Amino acid sequence: MSRFQPTIGSSSSSGANRFDETRGVAPGANIISLKVLDDQGKGLAANVIAAIDWAVQNRARYNIRVNSIAPLAGTRMSEDMLTEDAYRVFDVAHVVPAAMFLVSEQAPTNAILGAAAGYYQALQVTVTPGALLPEADQTPDGIAAAWDRITDRAGEVALQTAIDQVTQAMKLLGQG
């Protein structure tokens, strides 16, 4: 399997997609794609780590910001879950300002922004202290037996970056 390949470019200057004249929320935005899988969708964990390292090392050079949006909108995917009234309330138009903000110059990095019907919220990813299981208990049954300890939120911490999870795990393993 080949090492990941960064592809650096920008979307079309008009912002129109190739199928019709609809525009995306970020016409002209620079897009960096870090391909880590082959044509069959297979890859190595080392390629993922190398891609993350590349993004971290080049974040200033390419103004890389990583954000995510957690929308609640009336779409084909949610139409079976929402009533007709809720579907109208959760119009996708309310999500667009959040998406536009996350690609703007004022956007933060490492943010998850919830957007629903004009209500916007910051979502936080937290990690519980968890449970270190002996090798013999690293089974579905062992995880089920330790579930209360794994999910106990006492002492949970908010992750600021992806590497925070690794750092916390290393501390719990006595390696950090």
Residue 7 — pLDDT band, cuts 50, 70, 90?
low
Residue 15 — pLDDT band, cuts 50, 70, 90?
very low
Number of neighbouring beta carbons within 10 Å of residue 2: 10
pLDDT of residue 20 exceeding 70 = no
Q: Quick one: tokens of 124?
A: 């936080």
pTM of the model: 0.54
Number of neighbouring beta carbons within 10 Å of residue 95: 24
Q: Quick one: tokens of 149?
A: 């300890």
What are the tens digits of pLDDT across the range 105-119? Answer: 788 877 888 888 888
Beta strands in the chain (DSSP E): 5-10, 30-35, 67-71, 111-116, 119-123, 126-127, 157-158
Mean pLDDT, rounded, of the chain: 77
